[in-house]
Structure 1
Amino acid sequence: MTILDKIVVDKHKEVDLKKSIISIKQLEQFPLFENDTVSLANQLRHSNSGIIAEHKRRSPSKSVINQSLNVQDIASGYETAGVCGMSVLTDGKYFGGSLDDLIIARASCHLPLLRKEFIIDPYQIVEAKAHGADVILLIAAILTRDDIKTFSELAKSLNLDVLLEVHNEEELHKSIMPSLDMLGVNNRNLKTFEVSTQTSKDLSTLIPNDFVKVSESGISSVETIKDLKTYGYQGFLIGENFMKTDNPGKSATQFINQIES
């Protein structure tokens, strides 16, 4: 059983428990459920940098990344840096995140917020909207084509953007549909955890231009971004590169200045 398999098993248990405590109807009464959303896809289309900066305390592959910083400072720092959006990990067991992080980020900035989560149930999409998200992540490796269609159409009905993540050509072919806004290529092999941006390059020509192309994982240099832009990528999800520093906002500012200079 891979780490991803373990996460999905645990996620089903977690969602079942949450459903028994708070119903979808109750989630729809949350104040943030009525919030107007901001499109991350539109931000990326009109940006020079295309940076989506992440809040991530730890991960199965890297253990602890940064446990000492607070979400409020990170969110406001990223906004000052001029990133296009912020990704917020909400998985607790494996990544040390929570929905509270999403709420605090929402209160601290006006950036489009991506709920970075292992979504396996429509409940989590309503939950994302109720906690201030503008965007959801769907991971092709853990979903069927029918799941992707159902989940993405629900998200669009709630005015949420959808970022669909793939790791290979097979996942990409089963995933392409009109209810997606962005197609993300994860450069990390989920079985070996090896990272190579060649994955993004190899899949770039297979992604229709209707979708914003996003490259994820293993991006730590301006040169890599400039290279990937030549393959049509407009979005770049960066987590550890900023989070491993004492001041992620300052780190993001310097990075973006290098891109734009």
Structure 2
Amino acid sequence: MSTILDEILAQKHLEIAAARDRVTFESLEARIPSAPPVRGFLAALQSAERPGLIAEVKKASPSAGLIRADFDPVTIARQYEVAGATCLSVLTDEHFFQGHLDYLRDIRQVVRIPVMRKEFIIDRYQIAEARVAGADCVLLIAECLDDVQLHDLYGYAHSLGMDALIELYDLENVARVLATGTKLLGINNRDLRTFVTSLEHTFRVKQQIPDDVLLVSESGISNHAHIQRLRSEGVGAVLVGESLMRQPNIGNAVRELMGTP
């Protein structure tokens, strides 16, 4: 039986084929030198008070449906930055999450903090798209990629000066992710096959991660008690979207979550 992740990946193959028909990979790469300069995503998290906050611009999801009706991505991004977010994550998947690459492009023009393309990336084409749009980092999901793809896409992102946040859920993927040499690793507390979420998953996986790797806990983080627990366990950053996007005042929600004035 196919999972939602299987459906998403099948859709990505269709989207990439259509995009290549419109603009060749070579033509896309030729635009990269004109892209905005890269801002250090990992460097920003390393220099932030821990845990750093990657605040996510997210309109909808397959599990939650529509999250925010009054969705203005640029305004939301500005509110995140003013409230003290370290970095931004921007959903660009159109079919399942009602995102768009244009959201990232527009946001990058008005904020000073680094921005990540949150997407189901399976091809170099998507990374080139991200860099042209101004992304400083891309998400790579271990469960979506074999070893050859993971190493190739990680290397390609770095060749463009970008960071790559490699995310995993399954414990058996820890060794193959660390084999890339990454210093930025995300632990998704939500199983992408079932969409069941547990914050405890971060602590289970963390036991297998070297101290020199900056850990990002993702999903299921919704209050300051969660932040305090993650801080006490030495987690380097958190990625939070849905719980912030549901609040009427996003700036206040960020400050309440992080415990800042």
TM-score (structure 1 length as normaliser): 0.94
Q: Is the 8 A contact 1:56 1:95 kept in 2?
A: yes
State the shift of 1:74 in Å: 0.7
Q: Does 1:13 align with 2:6?
A: no
Q: Which amino acid aligns with 2:149?
A: D
Conserved 8 A contact 1:152-1:179: no
Equivalent position SS for 1:233: coil
Q: 1:73 to 1:140 in 2, by over 3 A?
A: same
Q: 1:178 Cα shift? A: 4.5
For structure 1, the 5+ residue unaligned runs are none
Structure 1 residues 43 and 100, CA gap change in structure 2 (3 angstroms): same
| Cα distance per residue 1:3-23 (max 9 Å; x no partner) | 000000010000010011012
Q: Are residues 1:139 and 2:137 paired? A: no
1:198 aligns with 2:200: yes
SS in 2 for 1:129: helix
Q: Which runs of 5+ in 2 are unaligned?
A: none
- What are the Cα deviations for residues 69-95 of structure 1, in whole angstroms up to 9, with x where unaligned? 211111111110111101000000000
Give CA deviations for 1:129-153 in whole Å, capped at 9, x if unaligned.
0001000000000101111100000
Q: 1:241 — aligned with what?
A: 243
Q: Which sits farther off after the overlay, 15-24 or 187-196?
A: 187-196
| 1:180 matched residue in structure 2 | 182
User: 1:27–1:33: 8 Å Cα contact kept in structure 2?
Assistant: no
TM-score (norm 2): 0.94
Distance in 2 of aligned mates of 1:244 and 1:58: 10
- The answer on whether the counterparts of 2:37 and 2:134 sit within 8 Å (CA) in structure 1 is no
Secondary structure of the structure 2 residue equivalent to 1:76? helix
- The reply to whether residue 55 of structure 1 matches residue 48 of structure 2 is no
**1:170/1:20 Cα in 2 relative to 1: closer, same or farther (>3 Å)?**
same
Secondary structure, counterpart of 1:199 in structure 2: helix
Contact 2:45 2:236 in 1 (8 A): yes
Which residue number corresponds to residue 150 of structure 1? 152
Residue aligning to 2:124: 122
Contact 1:87–1:114 under 8 Å retained in 2: yes
1:68 to 54, 67, 70: 70
Q: Is the 8 A contact 2:55 2:240 kept in 1?
A: yes
Partner in structure 2 of residue 105 of structure 1: 107
CA distance in structure 2 between the partners assigned to 1:131 and 1:190 by the alignment: 26
**Cα RMSD (Å):** 1.6
Kept in 2: contact 1:168–1:199 (CA 8 A): no
| Contact residue 32 and residue 128 of structure 2 kept, 8 A | no
Asked whether the equivalents of residues 204 and 231 of structure 1 are also in contact (C-alpha less than 8 Å), the reply is no
Tell me the equivalent position of 1:24: 25
Counterpart amino acid of 2:134?
Answer: G
Question: Whole-Å Cα distance in 1 between the matches of residues 181 and 21 of structure 2?
Answer: 29
Q: Percent of counterpart pairs with the same letter?
A: 36
